[in-house]
Chains A and B, each alone.
Chain A
Amino acid sequence: MKDSLKINKYPLCVEVFRLANESLDSTGGDPMLLRRAKLHAHILDNITIFIEEDDLLCGSGASKPFGLEMQYEYGVWTKDEVESLKSEIYTISPEDEEELYRLNDRFAGNSLNHNLVETMGKSLGENDRLWPFMKSGCILPPWKDKSGGSGGGFAMSGYGLGPGFSLVAVDFARVLRDGAKGIIAEAKQCLSDLRYDAADSLEKRYFWEGVIIVYEAWVRFANRYADLAEEMAAGESRPQRKAELLEMARICRKVPYEPAETFREAMQSYWFTFLMMCPSPTATGGRFDQFMYPYYKKDKEEKRITDDQVLELLEVMRCKVMKINRVSGKANRAKNAGMAKWYNWTIGGQKPDGSDATNELSYLLLEAAKDTHLPHYTLTVRVHENSPKEFLVKALEVVKTGLGLPAFIGDNSYMNFFTGGGLSVEQARDYCATGCVDGNVQATTRTQVAVFFIIPQAMDICMHNGYCRFTKETVGIETGDVTKMESFEEFKAAVYRQMAYLMGMANERINVELIAERELFPDVFRSSLMKDGVKTGKDMFNRTFEMENAAVLGAVGGVNTGNALAAIKKLVYEEKKYTMAQLLTALDADWEGFPEMRKDFQDAPKYGNNIDYVDSIVADVYSYYASVCLSLPCAYGGTLRPNAISISAHQPGGAVTGATADGRKGGEILADASLSPDHGQDLSGPLAVFQSAMKVNQDAYQGTLMNMKFHPTALKTESDLEKLASVVKTYLTHGGKHVQFNVVNKEEMLDAKEHPEEHPELVVRVAGYSAYFTRLTDGIQNEVINRTCHDL
């Protein structure tokens, strides 16, 4: 099946766009919950389906193999954007392209997308206070006009409703256990029990009616696959394939309607559910090794399946995930490099009682990744005190193949995040990585909006007393003339005050999106798979969960900020080698003409070398950042939460930020991830990096990111892997939240830049996702190459 992954061009499809708009056109008078439910059912009933050669799981996520369906929620695909896609690795048939423009003309005025863009534009662009901020590059992408910087449309695969980017792990176990049948029955019961005695009684009725509409359509959709498989079996001459098709038909007749009883049935039911979570580049696999285990165990005990057969299914699933893609408009393509997608399966960790949860499936998932050598889906290994050494070594064996996965995350710090937010320890033990490394507890919390905040830009605005060098206008508040500040504390307080002010505006931007999405994008399917999802009768955007994790603001460049503050503390306030005025002059000149001064600022202590002087300042920046987030109200309830995963935002973030006092020149890339040292500045080996990072209180963060690169020579023997496993465990049980490794040598990457055609299979870890190196942008390629390589 892996052979079928070799394609050069990804087809853009218009079926979903057409079906969605057809439906919307006919449901004008309905409440939004029902409009969206009907739209969903219309897609499920009509989208073209197919079963590919060698496939064992039904469901592909688009009307064509490898297809990307144009979405209707975000932006319209203009001719200009389509042309740009065609010049890259995408293609569109002439008929589809023509239909797309026809549909654009017909529906541009009344699409939901129009409303989102309009709401964002009117609230943020046409607002004198917020408009300068939206352009400033403090958050990405900087808006270029008042209607908003949505950066064009999206095209994705999947049978669910948008919008993408929901970070949620739904209750997969419920679908496996009760089937659609149980969920439909519950909705019907709720309807019959409904009494019209509250303001939201009607809303609940719409919700439950919607649940019945969508789940029934979903069952019909599965039956269409059963019909197709039977039809194909009838014409199939090879006995083995015929038998496979008949078995697939049997299974699709049964699930997702009925509860799953065997591992194969559970796989199909799971896969159909997963595809309903897409289109979203962040659809989450959840704790697959936990909720699938009972089916595996029973089949193994009753000798219905072998590990080889399980492995085959897991590998087929990997191939299928490779075919689910997404692409965005030009502006967003730069932000998330390499067809970024974050389909994340979490393995290991703890059971509700705190005992180790690792099982045979955890190992088989690792084996499937190693066997197929495919970068998606990614795996995230939960690590705690009692994680078996063999499991971590096995995971590092996969890392060693150069695949860039799995990532490792620490139960202690994640669980502290959730218990700190009010959940019980038992609930916290059921967390998983959603999206990149954003933590969410299955069915209990979810994140809907994540925005990146460029801290060095905020600091620069403070250095210029509220003036933004990028847009050449006043953006922030007047925090004072920094050349007149007498102590480092006074200066730092000014930087923090400016940061807090600008973060407040970022939070407003987040809230506008949250509110607009709640109005426009209800989704009864995934909402019903949240905790008490059917019973509550509310969309998941319209509930306040026990712990609110709805919105996160991602810190970018925290390390640069800490390094810059430390250099200023040392050279301006302690040694008094330079005045603040001299520094400002040099920064405004982008260090041109000040090489010696720049070298002094570069040589000041840098984070990542276990030097308390600077590490404590970086830790302070992160600690303050977290406290500001936790003071800002979130539209869905609770507060904004901090995270610190730059994905690849440190590149565009750096592009908008002028020269900084850590010695960086204007426009240069910022420090990668959030706890990785800046490029080439960790000169004291990996342990010093970990120890610097352990000084940062990471518990308040929904996720942090640490990228580390090793040369293959550091991972040669079993004993090398055991030693690295002990480092990973030590970091992750002592305050560390996340670490991931790239194992690849520099020569190979340099050669791949030169001769991409010879390295199509070279996979590197970017940030929370692995990508084919040759498909990364030039800037990100250089950045991956320049991350310090720990060679022994």
Chain B
Amino acid sequence: MKTEEKEGIVFDIQHYSIHDGPGIRTNVFVKGCPLRCRWCQNPESQSVKPQLMYRLEPCVGCGACVPRCPRQAIRLEEGKVITDRTRCNGCGACVSVCPAEAREITGEPMTAQDVLEKVIQDKLFYDTSGGGVTMTGGEILAQPDFVAAVLKLCKENGLHTAIETCGYGSWEELDQILDYTDLALYDVKHMDSEKHKEGTGAGNERILENLARLSGEKNIPVIVRVPLIPGFNDTEENMRQMAAFIKEKLPTCQEVNLLPYHKLGEGKKEQLERENAAFICEPPAQEDVERLRALLCELGVKATV
């Protein structure tokens, strides 16, 4: 199959992204993630398949969607629309008939060429600001062939490329992506593998090993990103271990970004009609974030919030 024709599932393309890499960028979000972080802000990105999103407030309970479902997954109970998520396969037949625009499918199949055509529209603005394209997710390693194909096309068209990854995948899969990557934004959630497993469902060995190779062998500039989750990884010990790792294993590390936890993803869980094991957590206090940032700097690692 030609590079242009490689197909993937994209759940968002965000133009004018200014917080994920240098300059003005377009973020391409691919669907699917191998981790299950308890604090996940993009729950709609976890499954690789297209999914139905449903917003309660605009829904008028008219029931127009009910007969449209080929799998009889929707029913009306006392004026409320209820979708049986075990039956729904995200086909989207119910979306267009909804007069209130309460239903929406997240995740759209696109070819690498489709994505290129979307992102290249802003080339003028990348060129004048030093920006480019950032592939993110979900997790790019959920669709490695597709991501590599998109990045290859971007490079062929003179765009600066960045990836944002959790690094949980095989080296071979990551490696093919790195051939077309100018900058990696690499998430490190915890230096302690046990803790990492508690928070995300997987240990961190493979993640750290990939990271070290990406920097040491492939020599790709990297920015380490740490979502700061109160009570999980916001300890000084964790920061010390991270600083040591960076100094020993990451010659190309430019800086560490601390990303304080926020609650903007809460609404999305409801839209997926999913009762997650409640993750109750307040955003970290500003002074704690600043203390950890200062500590990293003290340890000789540039850190920003």
A binding-site residues for B, Cβ under 8 Å: 595, 610, 684-688, 690-691, 714, 719-720, 723-724, 726-727, 729-730, 734, 790, 792
Contact = CB atoms under 8 A, between A and B. Distances in A.
Contacts of B14: 685, 792
A734 B16 CA distance: 18
28 contacts: A610-B121, A684-B15, A685-B14, A685-B15, A685-B16, A686-B15, A686-B16, A687-B16, A687-B24, A687-B122, A688-B15, A690-B125, A691-B121, A691-B122, A714-B18, A720-B18, A720-B19, A723-B129, A723-B131, A724-B18, A726-B129, A727-B24, A727-B129, A729-B128, A730-B128, A790-B16, A792-B16, A792-B19
Contact of A687 (B19, B23, B99, B125): B125
A723 B18 contact: yes
Interface in B127-181: 128-129, 131
Given A685-B16, A730-B125, A792-B17, 19 more contacts: A685-B15, A686-B15, A687-B15, A687-B121, A687-B125, A688-B15, A688-B121, A719-B18, A720-B18, A723-B18, A723-B23, A723-B131, A726-B125, A730-B128, A730-B129, A734-B124, A792-B14, A792-B16, A792-B19
Contacts of A792: 14, 16-19
Contacts of B128: 726-727, 729-730
Contacts of A595: 99
A790 B14 CA distance: 12
Contacts of B24: 687, 723, 726-727
Given A723-B23, A723-B24, A723-B129, A730 B16 contact: no
Contacts of A730: 124-125, 128-129
A686 B125 CA distance: 11
Interface string B6-18: 0000000011111
A428 to B, nearest CB: 24
A593 to B, nearest CB: 15
Nearest to A729: B128
Interface residues of B, number: 16
A726 B124 CA distance: 11
Of the listed residues A686, A687, A719, A790, the one surrounded by the most CB atoms of chain B closer than 10 A to its CB is A687
B268 to A, nearest CB: 16
Contacts of A686: 15-16
B14 to A, nearest CB: 7
Contacts of B131: 723
A205 B240 CA distance: 88
Contacts of B124: 691, 730, 734
Nearest to A724: B18
B25 to A, nearest CB: 9
A637 to B, nearest CB: 39
Contacts of A719: 18
A595 B125 CA distance: 39
A687 B13 CA distance: 13
A681 to B, nearest CB: 14
A714 B14 CA distance: 14
Of the listed residues A691, A723, A790, A792, the one surrounded by the most CB atoms of chain B closer than 10 A to its CB is A723
Contacts of A790: 16
Contacts of B19: 720, 792
Contacts of B23: 723, 726
Tell me if A's interface is mostly helix, strand, loop or mixed. helix
Contacts, number: 52
A742 to B, nearest CB: 17
A704 to B, nearest CB: 19
A687 B25 CA distance: 11
A714 B18 CA distance: 8
B150 to A, nearest CB: 19
A655 to B, nearest CB: 28
A388 to B, nearest CB: 15
Contacts of A729: 128
A686 B121 CA distance: 12
B21 to A, nearest CB: 11
Contacts of B122: 687, 691
Interface in B1-59: 14-19, 23-24
Nearest to A596: B99
A610 B24 CA distance: 17
A606 to B, nearest CB: 16
Of the listed residues B17, B23, B128, the one surrounded by the most CB atoms of chain A closer than 10 A to its CB is B128
A790 B17 CA distance: 11
A691 B125 CA distance: 10
B201 to A, nearest CB: 29
Nearest to A722: B129
Interface in B87-134: 99, 121-122, 124-125, 128-129, 131
B136 to A, nearest CB: 14
A719 B24 CA distance: 10
A141 B18 CA distance: 44
A424 B81 CA distance: 68
A714 B17 CA distance: 9
Contacts of A720: 18-19
Contacts of B125: 687, 690, 726-727, 730
Of the listed residues B18, B19, B23, B131, the one surrounded by the most CB atoms of chain A closer than 10 A to its CB is B18
Contacts of A727: 16, 24, 125, 128-129
Interface string B199-224: 00000000000000000000000000
A590 B124 CA distance: 42
A684 to B, nearest CB: 6
A687 B99 CA distance: 30
A719 B122 CA distance: 19
A719 B131 CA distance: 12
A404 B99 CA distance: 37
Nearest to A734: B124
Contacts of A690: 125
Nearest to A716: B19
B20 to A, nearest CB: 10
Nearest to A690: B125
Contacts of A688: 15, 121
A690 B17 CA distance: 15
Nearest to A723: B18
A792 B128 CA distance: 20
Q: Which 5 A-B pairs have the closest CB atoms?
A: A685-B15, A726-B129, A730-B128, A723-B18, A685-B16
Nearest to B127: A730
Nearest to B130: A726
A587 B15 CA distance: 36
A595 B121 CA distance: 34
Nearest to B19: A792
Nearest to A694: B124
A685 B18 CA distance: 12
Contacts of B129: 723, 726-727, 730
A179 to B, nearest CB: 46
A724 B16 CA distance: 9
Contacts of B17: 792
A724 B128 CA distance: 11
Contacts of A714: 18
Nearest to A686: B16
A691 B129 CA distance: 16
Contacts of A734: 124
B185 to A, nearest CB: 15
A685 B27 CA distance: 12
Nearest to B27: A792
A152 B16 CA distance: 47
A729 B24 CA distance: 13
Contacts of B99: 595
A792 B16 CA distance: 8
A551 to B, nearest CB: 35
B24 to A, nearest CB: 5
B72 to A, nearest CB: 26
Contacts of A684: 15
A727 B24 CA distance: 8
A614 to B, nearest CB: 15
Contacts of A685: 14-16
A720 B19 CA distance: 8
